[in-house]
Amino acid sequence: MKNSSVHYGVLLGFLTLVLFFLVYFLFIGQSYYILSLRVNFFILPALYTLVAVILLYKKTSIQKLSFADCFSISFSTMFIGGTISFIIISLFLNYVDKGANEIFGHQLYTTWREGLDQEFSTLVHPSSEDIQRYHQYQKLLNWMITEEKYFFNLRMSVIILGMLYTFYLIISVFLSMFFRLRKPHATIRSNTSS
């Protein structure tokens, strides 16, 4: 059990939750959305890949594995960790602290609106079509800020999980292509003569 996908998947879920609650308790104010994005796009992918690499390294040190075996090990590890942590985070933000969910959604939509305003202001001579499209997007974002208060609703959760599983799939394919070639008990020897 110690070197299994389930064990490492639960470990990944635990580490993800530790990072989530660190960001939650330390940075719930002004920069909550931006810091959450940085953690989700830089730290978590590296962590998930590192854990999958460690598990595959341990497994391929004992025996040669096929592409399918490597893929199964790496994908199931990330799938378990990501699913467990995402469900717990979603439950927390939807039932324990709806205010944090609202802050996250508000900061997200506000950032999108600021980006839209900044992009529109760079247009030198906007056409009537550009102006009309700008007003439509602005109206949509204003509606999202007032009506779509909660970011972790069912629709967004399905989209986020789809993106996570796609990431796990891509990383698992790359890792499997590499680790299927690894020979067990391989030693590295120098070609220099003594």
Q: What would the mean pLDDT of 98-103 be, rounded to a whole number?
A: 75
pLDDT digits (tens, 9 = 90+) for 138-187: 887 777 666 665 666 777 788 888 999 999 999 999 999 988 887 776 66
pLDDT digits (tens, 9 = 90+) for 21-75: 898 888 777 677 778 888 888 999 999 999 999 999 888 888 888 999 999 999 9
DSSP-assigned letters across all residues of the chain: -TTSHHHHHHHHHHHHHHHHHHHHHHS-STTHHHHHHHIIIIIHHHHHHHHHHHHHHHHHHHS---HHHHHHHHHHHHHHHHHHHHHHHHHIIIII-HHHHHHHHHHHHHHHHHHHHHHHHT-SS--HHHHHHHHHHHHHHHHHHHH---SSSHHHHHHHHHHHHHHHHHHHHHHHHHHTTPPTT---------
pLDDT of residue 105: 73
Global confidence as pTM:
0.77
User: How would residue 90 be classed by pLDDT, with cut points 50, 70 and 90?
Assistant: confident
pLDDT of residue 186: 64
Name which of 7-21, 41-55, 71-85, 124-138 the model is least confident about: 124-138
Q: What would the mean pLDDT of 67-95 be, rounded to a whole number?
A: 92
